[in-house]
Structure 1
Amino acid sequence: MAGKMGKFVIIFFVAAICLTSMVSAVDAEINPTIQVGLFYGQNALPGANLENYTGSGYRLGYFDEDLHFVTLGHTPETQISMVKTQNVSLSNGNYVDGTGSVTVGCYHLQMPGSYPDFESAAAAAAALQGAFPAWIEGAYFVRVGAYATKEAATAAQNTLGLSDASVTGTSSYGVTVVATKTGRPLFQFDGGASYTLGVKPGLDDATETVTWFKGYRYYGSFRYVRESGGNLSVINVVPLEDYVRGVLPYEMSNDWPLEALKAQAVCARTYAYMNLGKHQKSGFDICNTTDCQVYQGAGLSNARTDQAAAETYGKYVWYAGELAQTYYFSCDGGATEDVKNVWGSSGQNLPYLTGVVDIYEPSVADKTGKYNWTVTFTKQELKDILHKKGYLCDDIVDFYVAEYTPTGNVYKITFLDAAGKSWSFVNTTKEYARTLLGLNSIRYTISGGGGKFFVNDSSTTIASASGAYAVDGAGNITAITGTPYVITGSGTEQLVSSSAGNSFTITGSGWGHNVGMSQWGAYVMAEQGKTYDEILKFYFTGVDVR
């Protein structure tokens, strides 16, 4: 949902637009095992290294349909790498496609016969130079070497005097486990279409393991899935509570007040559970990016974040007996917003995701670094943006907020071109009032552009407030002087600028989508002595925490 920049600034969560179905109290589990995608799709890897941080050695096998681990083998090595069974090479410590210092080839010599278990296959392999046990669709074999070509494997067969061996490869599902920074296979796995390789750190469960992967430390185990017979998707198989420990310090600074961290922990836990299966088509539950929640394991965890997770263990946010969608973001700039006013037709009208005026946030406006912001667009830039979106407008002559929500956030923006045509954008599935122009929030005003003001109706305009008059409720007529303000249809007061020019200035506050919990608001509430459940109940209307 949100990432962290520096000590205080928190990046907002780019929320999933489609809201998933509700989960009732009887369906919610305490600390289920979940699967988190770490590398996948275009980021899938030819090879992936693991290194023990806490605990030693690895168990090798697969996870069944209930995510119970089935052990097929083991190794005492502290550094292992999983590589696809295509030719890969070692380069700068990683296994890649192309050339490198060491090549792990996809051809092997298979010794005759099969073995009933790993121990017997491993014992037979130990008697042969370069041999290793392999589990191929339910049976154990002994294989020798990892050669780049069939010809190289045949030559090795003659050199080693293994006339009874056969040259073999693996299917597009195969994965080889090698000792890191070498071409020495330790184990090979090919479960066909039924099973994918699982690696469980530690030789037993006596120690809670922590494992290095790509510069981060992770709890739990790992799965390796060949994507379309190519690179490996790397999936962290981890208990939900350990996952929460890995989300907390990346979504909220680990030195923040404990009650704010506890509120964040409950949000993260509830959001994760509500979105299990979001990436089912990719073979896991949720991802590790802002598309879900930022998750990078235990690297930034400390005693405070672990305490926050432990003291809220198993607690979720509920509304009317069902789990709630616990969206969150950095700061709201003064008020959160109804979900239906942010994501339009894709946002269900959920009563607990109702906009609230935030009386807490303003006290830390100078601390967040991005609470107040300003951005300027030239008329040409706005024209170019609309053209890229497929709107064939003429030169832009005006750009303004056409409608605010009752809490003062932008709901509708309008562009007017020189031909008299207008284009209006409300918050839809693309959240246009913010994302069309890449703005930080939906809480802003617009000034500049040539001093055109709308009066009396939506079509009558004047070029300047100079010489204009206003009629008050008693019928008194008064000349407008100084910098005028207008009252919008929703009753909010808005500054009117009469500056002429070739650009529009957007002046805003807040950082994020404004739905759900403000992280900086939680910070202030915790500083003022509010408890984590009080924080959650302020931002999520009518909910329970249990």
Structure 2
Amino acid sequence: MLRTLRVPFAVLIFLFILLPSFRADAGMVSVGLSIGQSAVRISSASVMTAADGAGKRHSIGSSAEFRAAGAGTVSAGNRSFRLPVTISGKAPLSFNGRRYRGTFRIISSGSGITLVNVLDLEEYLRGVLKMEINPAWPMEAVKAQAIVSRTYALRSMRQNNGKNGFDLRDSVLSQVYRGINAEDKRADQAISATRGIVVFHGGNLAFTPFHSDSGGATADVTAVWGGSMPYLRGVNEPYPPSSPNAQWEVHLSAAQVEDALRQAGADVGPLRDLRIGETDAFGRANTLVAVGARGTQTVKSHAFRMAAGSTVIKSTSFTITSRGGAPTPSMPLPLPSRTPPPAAGGGKDVPTSNTPMSAAEERQLTALTEQGVFNAEELMDMLLNPEKRKGYLIRALRTRRPETPSQPSVPSSPSGGFVFRGKGWGHGVGLSQWGAKTLAEKGWDHKKIIQFYFPGVTLGKM
């Protein structure tokens, strides 16, 4: 894909779907564990060996701290090593209190260094699955998650193609990965039973997003991220899931709603009314209509949810009630400071940069991501276009406001704020994990579960 083209987000998603199925070396995956740091300390229960960029092998004992030394080198103790450095041992390697299979690789990253874990894809999944689904759930649901996670990782690997020196991150930017610490016997069984199986559509690897609980019906990708994908349309679940978020309720003041609307691109001034606009066939809110002193605007429900906070408004399957002047039984939940989502067309306004990000910038981007500053659309745009990551960081730092207590709303706003009553948790696209659990309890196997949530796909070996 030509990186210089400025195309709408929907087109980017479409191109993402049409990418070739997998790389020739898809059996191995590289995961960035620590990005752009000045030093990393690693250890093992056995003596470790370091192979430097010149091919020389050195015994480095059972613990070593590698520090960036400039000019493509690192130092450990009184020795200097040319990058990249590959570290191996007879026992698993450890970093930041976690043990990992495979090998470590230290590479240059701006003025700092990055630590990468290189291992077999199936072993990578062993460190992922427990972080994404409860392995104690019915085995067919766990198998479905294993296949979806494997497919998601392969798609990401193919698109990223080792840029920045690794394929995936160990955080929500890819899939949460915690190495051996996260391994589980039942999760291992699901991975082994589905080894090499992935999801295809039209001969290519499918894009397989997942979420916690659909609330009874999944969302069409068009209403969330844009684009039109036949296997990412909304489906109505035949059985109600019994998740902790089957029903939820949150009270927001008018000022909080006004702030979220501004960040979602609908600045209508002092709010007079907020109502649901378009809904899908299952009643999920696709758009909201905001009426204020400055006029009326329509905004995507997903954009509003991400601006308000995905842990505040847990899904877009909700109703809205004005509280009028009634007293509030509890303090409204604070809204986190957010970067406004991109206008229609995704991140068209975000500049690209071929300049490598510094270690400090990498740390800032990671911190902002963990704080939930970027919405799902922005994260996807960064995944598809790594050269935009620096532009997103600059925009976030320029537009992110410090968190301050909400100011009292003006008299024209509904004095009691709004009550959002909803069901489910997550963006709603693709596989619903709690829904998969319920289907497995009803006797569905993993293949039937996946083909229900991704209509028209097939399962096959890599």
2:86 equivalent in structure 1: 198
2:265/2:299 contact within 8 Å kept: no
Note the alpha carbon deviations across 1:395-454, whole angstroms, 9 max, x for none: 2110010110112211110110135x1121026xxx414213222111111111549xxx
1:57/1:74 contact within 8 Å kept: no
SS of alignment partner, residue 77 of structure 1: strand
Note the alpha carbon deviations across 1:66-119, whole angstroms, 9 max, x for none: xxxx8521316222222222xxxxxxxxxxxxxxxxxxxxxxxxxxxxxxxxxx
Partners of 1:391 and 1:332 in 2: CA distance? 26
The residue type paired with residue 136 of structure 2 is D
Q: 2:244 aligns with which of 358, 363, 369?
A: 369
2:40 equivalent in structure 1: 48
2:305 equivalent in structure 1: 434
TM-score calculated relative to the size of structure 2? 0.72
- Which structure 2 residues correspond to residues 349-428 of structure 1 after superposition, within 5 A? 349-360=228-239, 362-364=240-242, 368-387=243-262, 392-418=267-293, 421-426=295-300
Partners of 1:211 and 1:545 in 2: CA distance? 34
Partners of 1:529 and 1:71 in 2: CA distance? 54
The residue type paired with residue 206 of structure 2 is A
Deviates more, 1:215-224 or 1:29-38: 29-38
Give the structure, 1 or 2, with the largest relative contact order (CA under 8 Å, sep 6 or more): 2
The residue type paired with residue 394 of structure 1 is G
Over the matched positions of the two proteins, sequence identity in percent amounts to 31
1:174 equivalent in structure 2: 73
2:43/2:93 contact within 8 Å kept: yes
1:233 equivalent to 2:114? Answer: yes
Partners of 2:266 and 2:286 in 1: CA distance? 20
Change (3 A) 1:213 1:415: same
1:279/1:287 contact within 8 Å kept: no
Deviation at 1:45, TM superposition (A): 2.5
1:397/1:450 contact within 8 Å kept: no
The residue type paired with residue 190 of structure 1 is R
**Superposition CA RMSD, Å:** 2.4
Number of paired residues?
Answer: 356
Partners of 2:87 and 2:208 in 1: CA distance? 32
TM-score calculated relative to the size of structure 1? 0.61
1:49/1:80 contact within 8 Å kept: yes
The residue type paired with residue 376 of structure 1 is H
1:522 equivalent in structure 2: 436
1:310 equivalent to 2:192? Answer: yes
SS of alignment partner, residue 160 of structure 2: coil
1:75 equivalent to 2:52? Answer: no
2:18 equivalent in structure 1: 22
Q: Which runs of 4+ in 1 moved over 6 A?
A: none
2:420 equivalent in structure 1: 506
Deviation at 1:377, TM superposition (A): 1.7
Partners of 1:392 and 1:321 in 2: CA distance? 44
Deviation at 1:542, TM superposition (A): 1.2
Partners of 1:272 and 1:393 in 2: CA distance? 41
The residue type paired with residue 286 of structure 2 is Y
Partners of 1:62 and 1:403 in 2: CA distance? 59
SS of alignment partner, residue 353 of structure 1: coil
- Can you give the 5+ residue segments of structure 1 that lack an aligned partner in the other structure? 1-16, 64-69, 86-170, 178-183, 203-208, 452-499
Partners of 1:306 and 1:436 in 2: CA distance? 37
2:216/2:241 contact within 8 Å kept: no
SS of alignment partner, residue 308 of structure 2: coil
1:533 equivalent in structure 2: 447
1:60 equivalent to 2:50? Answer: yes
SS of alignment partner, residue 150 of structure 2: helix
Partners of 2:450 and 2:265 in 1: CA distance? 41
Partners of 2:47 and 2:293 in 1: CA distance? 71
Partners of 2:208 and 2:199 in 1: CA distance? 7
Partners of 2:415 and 2:282 in 1: CA distance? 30
Deviation at 1:283, TM superposition (A): 2.3
1:448/1:504 contact within 8 Å kept: yes
Change (3 A) 1:28 1:533: farther
- Can you give the 5+ residue segments of structure 2 that lack an aligned partner in the other structure? 1-11, 326-413
Q: 2:170 aligns with which of 285, 288, 293?
A: 288
1:265 equivalent to 2:146? Answer: yes
- Which structure 2 residues correspond to residues 100-499 of structure 1 after superposition, within 5 A? 171-177=70-76, 184-185=77-78, 187-191=79-83, 196-202=84-90, 209-229=91-111, 231-276=112-157, 277-278=159-160, 280-344=162-226, 348-360=227-239, 362-364=240-242, 368-387=243-262, 392-418=267-293, 421-426=295-300, 431-438=302-309, 439-450=313-324
Deviation at 1:309, TM superposition (A): 0.9
Change (3 A) 1:80 1:73: same
Deviation at 1:358, TM superposition (A): 1.3
2:408 equivalent in structure 1: none
Q: Which has the larger radius of gyration?
A: 1
Higher strand share: 1
The residue type paired with residue 49 of structure 2 is R
Partners of 2:13 and 2:52 in 1: CA distance? 32
SS of alignment partner, residue 336 of structure 1: coil
2:376 equivalent in structure 1: none
1:32/1:239 contact within 8 Å kept: yes
Deviation at 1:386, TM superposition (A): 3.7
Higher helix share: 2
The residue type paired with residue 172 of structure 2 is T
1:399/1:415 contact within 8 Å kept: yes
Deviation at 1:388, TM superposition (A): 5.3
